[in-house]
Amino acid sequence: VSTQSTWGNPHNYGPTPREIEEMYRSERRKEEEQQALEMEAAASKRAKEEQDRKELELLRRDEEDRMAAIQAQERQMLEVRKEPLKRYLMDNVIPVLTQGLLEVCENRPPDPIDYLAEWLFRHNPQMEDAAA
């Protein structure tokens, strides 16, 4: 009686070539799945970054538009608010100041600023109205 007939054919307890091939395919499939997941994650990250960039650009444009509207409104408000002051200056200050500057040009004093100040003080329309 031989051992082969009693125990059967000898077995190699390591993996068979088919099992080795199957393990290789399984590992390769896992690697491909991992690469696919990484690529998908990278694409998702790029898409999210692009979306965030677009949202930031939209917010920046909205902020610029809002600031432009505020500046236009402020300019308009200043135009309205400066009218009374402009009218006052044109009616009361500019005529007297122009006369004083003409006097400075005609007389050419050594200290024109002091001369103009004295001239304006002497020719103050409000002081003349109070004296009369």
Q: In degrees rounded to 5, what are phi and psi of residue 15? A: -70, 150
Give yes or no for a contact between 92 and 120, defined as CB atoms under 8 angstroms apart.
no
Write down the pTM of the prediction: 0.44
* pLDDT, averaged across the chain: 91
The answer, yes or no, to whether residue 105 has pLDDT greater than 90, is: yes
Average pLDDT of the residues in 36-60: 97
Distance CA 16, CA 12 (A): 8
- How confident is the model at residue 6, as a pLDDT? 77
Residue 125's contacts (CB-CB under 8 Å, 6 or more residues apart) are 92, 96
